[in-house]
A and B are shown apart, each in its own frame.
Chain A
Amino acid sequence: MERRDFIKISGAGALALGAAAVGCAPKKKTAPAAAAEEGPEQMVYRENPVNGDKVSLIGFGCMRWPMVEKDGKRVIDQEAVNEMVDYALEHGINYFDTSPAYLMGQSEKAAGIALSRHPRDKYFIATKLSNFNNQTPEASIQMYRDSFDQLKTDYFDYYLLHSIGSGGVEAFRKRYVDNGMMEFLIKEKEAGRIRNLGFSFHGSPSDFDSLIALHDNGEYHWDFVQIEMNYVDWNHADGRRNANASYLYEELDKRGIPIVIMEPLLGGRLANVPDAIAQQMKEREPDKSIASWAFRFCGTHPRVLCALSGMTNMDPLLDNIKTFTHFKPLNEEELEFMERMATQMMEYPTVNCTDCKYCMPCPWGIDIPGIFKHYNTSVTEGRYAQTREQEDYRKLKRAYLVSYDRAIPTLRQADHCIHCGECLSHCPQSIPIPRELQRINRYIEKLKQDTL
């Protein structure tokens, strides 16, 4: 995005803010009071129409657990995980989603340790066949079997083909059909070791069509599908490389396929929105967190079985439990409001990274998600200079450069990216990573050389 455009839209955002403040003033008085009284005091559950599973509308994503340094290695903080899992179960969260690939391969084991301390029938386990690197039948079956050991269970409630879509039906066949894995998994399902078989999706509308066609023509049956959905992706995924969530939702809804949601917060970006947007949300719901809007958006759609949240510590967990125990769906007007917020959000020159770390490790040592996260936070938190002429340019420049060096070691910064393109195929968001890194580096160079 050009700088001038950005300035223009920032201005527009501010205008909208003013308009919203005026327009919404009368509503403010009635809405929150009503919410507190009407909302149920218990966790909201959705019933899986196929098998009657009562799944909590908020699920625990096991991809962002806290890590600690131990013997020079980054390992999961098991104690913190146990505490969170106990608390989550106690407050009605019963869906836990992991993968053999998460957190450098440590997520399943940690989930197994924490969950196996509770009765198996109190929760649903979802894990995935993450055979990205080695797709031979031996390696894939080994990965499947290892998950049982790691999770200390003899059945999976929900089992997913991990991240298919991009590359269309051909890529799906290569990873799961040609090596006999689909046949194998269907047998496993018949044997009762898999209760629901589905897939997680990242890709274009045509990719999706080709996969759902398999369901329509009876070749395979999808018990559920996991999609990326939130109020920004609803209509503002680019629509080409990444299908809009509204499209995916409608297609699945039509067929009655239960939907699990990933990235309801876009990797936390929808919990920390630009001030101009946050203010409009707080105008309406002063006591509710910014993140709660994103969760309410997901929960408002009835075909959603569960929205996953990758909670890193107790605080988001408490907030999410609060959102879903006093759950109040969005009304028509509020959905329109969310759409407006999404439109404004799109006007910030952020990178569409959800910090999933699938691109890591970069063979050249670049901290890709770290650089994007720092950039996005700087943009949304207003630590982003737009021109040398602006009043607080010096301050913003220093803040950006100092925080950049703090966040990313010099050798892992964007200027060391050699554009080898290794990361491109791993990114579920199809971000043109080298190009985005170069864009950020150009910005940094302009700051350093005072040529912005």
Chain B
Amino acid sequence: MLRKIRIALAVIFWLGITLLFLDFTGALHGWLGWMAKIQFLPAVLALNVAVIVGLVLLTLVFGRVYCSVICPLGVFQDGVAHLNVARKRRRKNRKPYSYSPEMKWLRYGVWVLFVIALIVGVQALVALLAPYSAWGRIVQNLFQPVYIWVNNLFASLAERAGSYAFYDKEVWLRSLPTFIVAAVTLVVVVILAWRNGRTYCNTICPVGTTLSFFSRFAMFRPMIDANVCKGCKQCEHNCKAACIDVENRRIDYSRCVDCFNCIDTCKFGGLKYRFAWGKKDSSASPQNDKPVSANDGGRRAFITGAALAVGTAALKAQEKKVDGGFATILDKEVPERDIPLTPPGSKSVKDFYRRCTACQLCVAECPNNVLRPSTDLQHLMQPEMSYERGYCRPECTRCSELCPTGAIRKITKEEKTQYHVGTARVNAELCVVEKGVECGNCARHCPAGAIMLVKDDETGYRRPVVNEEKCIGCGACENLCPARPISAITVNGRHNHIEE
């Protein structure tokens, strides 16, 4: 029964979070946004005390149910592991798993590394290890394109039927390194889960390790009744966390994720999920140096994953063919920016990159094709803005509504105009006015009215100048500038976005 409840809840959470990452229309935010906000690491980065305390209390009372229910990567691994277990069962293999001792060095080593990275601000490492970020990355890079393609299929059907229920959305590769990392992460996680269940969660996952500090002392735990237990090891062979040591009648509660599979497996009722305080502590695990080659497998997986990613990199954005009756339009190229552009709602570039876990939720969401993961080593996988395909439109605040870490604070349309994320600058040489064409498109479309046209004495044409005080850095000018491939007016980032 407990297992069934766990599965039902897990499926709801997993579907919810995954849908949140897949949806690009903004329709699901209101309903599902909270699921991202109760994730552990985002809550830590957002300094969301209520959520952190809530999750710690949850763990102290029920154990690591977070890992079995709330964490999307955890639930995904359960799914993968389940497929393999089912396959093994069909082959009459009744021993999919067996007990293995805790890999302390690896586990705590990674955790210490993670905490240092978090404090020092090596966000790439944090993002690489954090389970929620990893899942977001996988969904946004690998599953969302498929979701959009299916949507586009519906959109073309809808178009034929004259319906506006679905609209076309462009699929494009936002950043190759992030795509590769996502693909590799997926391969590694699938292999680990397929072979050994929850290996990732109990050796690498820093959130799992953090929660394990509390789950050891959980109020309710699955407990072996030594009087009933016949030592048949059915529970041990079905424990995907490999934490039940039947030999010694012990369970390693630091690794138990409260999936309750063992309870359902025991034919004799030898395992019970019950009040554990004051009962004999069985968290200590016996010494047994059976090496698990997680590292090795990881490396191998990385290589195969990389090969796979290079193969799929060819799925680059499909551009529409140019009609013979139309002038060819060159694609825009990313201009040089001394300071990166981070979205309105981020207090400063520094604050943004310190808080962001690179989960890609904002990237998956951005309706204007502005956000994409950075390829800059310092901020690898963390988002930045660029205006080749669109600009940060005045009415849009979708990333700010979603960000679970507070890297992008929730803002309204009106508040958005207060954020000065960058400043436009003109490269007179590239401006089409130089070729003797009257233009002024940047000034015409500037929502802040920050661009003025001044008469050029030489050519007689009016060229744009920027009033830096009024410019908010939205990029309308850069995006709509006719100079291609590099715009004549480009936006450079600013360190601080708002005065407080």
Please name all residues of chain A whose beta carbon is closer than 8 Å to the beta carbon of B480 when the two chains form the complex: 415-416
Please name all residues of chain A whose beta carbon is closer than 8 Å to the beta carbon of B164 when the two chains form the complex: 398-399, 402-403
Please provide the chain A residues from 372 to 419 with a CB less than 8 Å away from any CB of chain B in the complex.
Answer: 398-399, 402-403, 405-406, 409-412, 415-419
Asked if A365 and B326 sit within 8 Å, CB to CB, the answer is yes
A421 within 8 A of B: yes
A449 within 8 A of B: yes
* Contact bitstring B16-30, A, C-beta under 8 A = 1, else 0: 000000000000000
Task: Given A403-B164, A405-B167, check contact A418 B326 (CB 8 Å).
Answer: no
A207 within 8 A of B: no
B495 within 8 A of A: no
**Min CB gap B246→A, angstroms:** 61
Task: Given A415-B445, A418-B432, check contact A360 B326 (CB 8 Å).
Answer: yes
B482 within 8 A of A: yes
* Contact bitstring B387-407, A, C-beta under 8 A = 1, else 0: 001100111000000000000
B316 within 8 A of A: no
Asked if B395 and A104 sit within 8 Å, CB to CB, the answer is no
| Pair count A-B, CB < 8 A | 68
Please name all residues of chain A whose beta carbon is closer than 8 Å to the beta carbon of B323 when the two chains form the complex: 74
Give the docked Cα–Cα distance between A298 and B10 (Å). 71
A28 within 8 A of B: no
Give the docked Cα–Cα distance between A419 and B432 (Å). 12
Stretch at the interface among B199-207, B273-281, B435-443: B435-443
**Min CB gap B178→A, angstroms:** 24
| Residue of A whose beta carbon sits closest to that of B323 | A74
- Name the contact of A364 in the complex, choosing from B325, B327, B389 (C-beta under 8 A): B327
- Name the contact of A418 in the complex, choosing from B159, B328, B440 (C-beta under 8 A): B440
Please name all residues of chain B whose beta carbon is closer than 8 Å to the beta carbon of A117 when the two chains form the complex: none
Give the docked Cα–Cα distance between A438 and B164 (Å). 25
Asked if B325 and A74 sit within 8 Å, CB to CB, the answer is yes
Asked if B395 and A420 sit within 8 Å, CB to CB, the answer is no
**Min CB gap B472→A, angstroms:** 15
B329 within 8 A of A: yes
B324 within 8 A of A: yes
| Residue of A whose beta carbon sits closest to that of B158 | A402
| Residue of A whose beta carbon sits closest to that of B321 | A72
Task: Given A360-B325, A365-B328, check contact A418 B395 (CB 8 Å).
Answer: no
Please name all residues of chain A whose beta carbon is closer than 8 Å to the beta carbon of B328 when the two chains form the complex: 365
A450 within 8 A of B: yes
B320 within 8 A of A: yes
| Residue of B whose beta carbon sits closest to that of A403 | B164
Please provide the chain A residues from 13 to 56 with a CB less than 8 Å away from any CB of chain B in the complex.
Answer: none
B300 within 8 A of A: no
**Min CB gap A38→B, angstroms:** 39
Give the docked Cα–Cα distance between A357 and B482 (Å). 22
B230 within 8 A of A: no
A367 within 8 A of B: yes
Please name all residues of chain B whose beta carbon is closer than 8 Å to the beta carbon of A104 when the two chains form the complex: 324-325
B376 within 8 A of A: no
| Residue of A whose beta carbon sits closest to that of B396 | A448
B444 within 8 A of A: yes
Please name all residues of chain B whose beta carbon is closer than 8 Å to the beta carbon of A420 when the two chains form the complex: 437-439
Please name all residues of chain A whose beta carbon is closer than 8 Å to the beta carbon of B329 when the two chains form the complex: 364-365, 411-412
Please name all residues of chain A whose beta carbon is closer than 8 Å to the beta carbon of B324 when the two chains form the complex: 73-74, 104
Please name all residues of chain B whose beta carbon is closer than 8 Å to the beta carbon of A364 when the two chains form the complex: 327, 329, 482
**Min CB gap A100→B, angstroms:** 16
Asked if B320 and A419 sit within 8 Å, CB to CB, the answer is no
B456 within 8 A of A: no
**Min CB gap A70→B, angstroms:** 10
B168 within 8 A of A: yes
Please name all residues of chain B whose beta carbon is closer than 8 Å to the beta carbon of A73 when the two chains form the complex: 324
Please provide the chain B residues from 413 to 458 with a CB less than 8 Å away from any CB of chain A in the complex.
Answer: 432, 437-441, 444-445
| Residue of A whose beta carbon sits closest to that of B442 | A418
Asked if B393 and A363 sit within 8 Å, CB to CB, the answer is no
Task: Given A72-B321, A405-B167, A409-B320, check contact A416 B441 (CB 8 Å).
Answer: yes
Give the docked Cα–Cα distance between A86 and B88 (Å). 71
Asked if A421 and B438 sit within 8 Å, CB to CB, the answer is yes
A9 within 8 A of B: no
Please name all residues of chain B whose beta carbon is closer than 8 Å to the beta carbon of A403 when the two chains form the complex: 164
Please name all residues of chain A whose beta carbon is closer than 8 Å to the beta carbon of B482 when the two chains form the complex: 364, 416, 418
Please name all residues of chain B whose beta carbon is closer than 8 Å to the beta carbon of A365 when the two chains form the complex: 326-329
Please name all residues of chain A whose beta carbon is closer than 8 Å to the beta carbon of B390 when the two chains form the complex: 410
**Min CB gap A418→B, angstroms:** 4
Asked if B438 and A361 sit within 8 Å, CB to CB, the answer is no
**Min CB gap B434→A, angstroms:** 13
Give the docked Cα–Cα distance between A450 and B413 (Å). 11
Asked if B327 and A362 sit within 8 Å, CB to CB, the answer is yes
Please name all residues of chain A whose beta carbon is closer than 8 Å to the beta carbon of B394 when the two chains form the complex: 449
Asked if A419 and B439 sit within 8 Å, CB to CB, the answer is yes
| Residue of A whose beta carbon sits closest to that of B440 | A419
Please name all residues of chain A whose beta carbon is closer than 8 Å to the beta carbon of B395 when the two chains form the complex: 448-450
Please name all residues of chain A whose beta carbon is closer than 8 Å to the beta carbon of B440 when the two chains form the complex: 418-419
**Min CB gap B483→A, angstroms:** 10
Asked if B393 and A402 sit within 8 Å, CB to CB, the answer is no
Please name all residues of chain A whose beta carbon is closer than 8 Å to the beta carbon of B438 when the two chains form the complex: 418-421
**Min CB gap A435→B, angstroms:** 12
Please name all residues of chain B whose beta carbon is closer than 8 Å to the beta carbon of A418 when the two chains form the complex: 432, 437-441, 482
Give the docked Cα–Cα distance between A74 and B322 (Å). 10
Give the docked Cα–Cα distance between A402 and B163 (Å). 10
Asked if A361 and B326 sit within 8 Å, CB to CB, the answer is yes
Give the docked Cα–Cα distance between A418 and B321 (Å). 23
| Residue of B whose beta carbon sits closest to that of A360 | B325
Give the docked Cα–Cα distance between A416 and B389 (Å). 12
**Min CB gap A222→B, angstroms:** 32
Task: Given A416-B482, A419-B441, A449-B394, check contact A406 B327 (CB 8 Å).
Answer: no
Please name all residues of chain B whose beta carbon is closer than 8 Å to the beta carbon of A438 when the two chains form the complex: 444
Asked if B321 and A405 sit within 8 Å, CB to CB, the answer is no
Give the docked Cα–Cα distance between A229 and B390 (Å). 43
* Contact bitstring A297-332, B, C-beta under 8 A = 1, else 0: 000000000000000000000000000000000000
Please name all residues of chain B whose beta carbon is closer than 8 Å to the beta carbon of A362 when the two chains form the complex: 326-327
Please name all residues of chain B whose beta carbon is closer than 8 Å to the beta carbon of A421 when the two chains form the complex: 438
Please provide the chain B residues from 300 to 326 with a CB less than 8 Å away from any CB of chain A in the complex.
Answer: 320-321, 323-326
Kindly name the residue among A73, A402, A409, A438 whose own CB sees the greatest number of chain B CB atoms within 10 A.
Answer: A402
Give the docked Cα–Cα distance between A360 and B395 (Å). 33
Asked if A406 and B393 sit within 8 Å, CB to CB, the answer is no
- Name the contact of B326 in the complex, choosing from A399, A412, A417, A448 (C-beta under 8 A): A412
- Name the contact of B167 in the complex, choosing from A357, A363, A402 (C-beta under 8 A): A402
Task: Given A406-B168, A418-B437, check contact A357 B327 (CB 8 Å).
Answer: no
Please name all residues of chain A whose beta carbon is closer than 8 Å to the beta carbon of B325 when the two chains form the complex: 74, 104, 357, 360-361
Give the docked Cα–Cα distance between A398 and B389 (Å). 21
Closest A-B pairs by Cβ, 10 of them: A365-B329, A418-B439, A402-B164, A418-B441, A365-B327, A449-B395, A74-B324, A402-B167, A361-B327, A418-B482
25 inter-chain pairs at a CB distance below 8 angstroms, sorted by A residue, are A74-B323, A74-B325, A104-B325, A360-B325, A360-B326, A361-B327, A364-B482, A365-B326, A367-B326, A402-B164, A405-B167, A406-B159, A406-B167, A410-B390, A411-B329, A412-B329, A415-B445, A418-B438, A418-B439, A418-B440, A418-B441, A420-B439, A448-B393, A449-B395, A450-B395
Taking A365-B328, A409-B320 as known contacts, 16 extra A-B pairs with beta carbons closer than 8 A to each other, sorted by chain A number, are: A73-B324, A74-B323, A74-B324, A357-B325, A360-B326, A363-B327, A399-B164, A403-B164, A411-B329, A415-B445, A415-B480, A416-B441, A418-B432, A419-B444, A420-B439, A450-B395
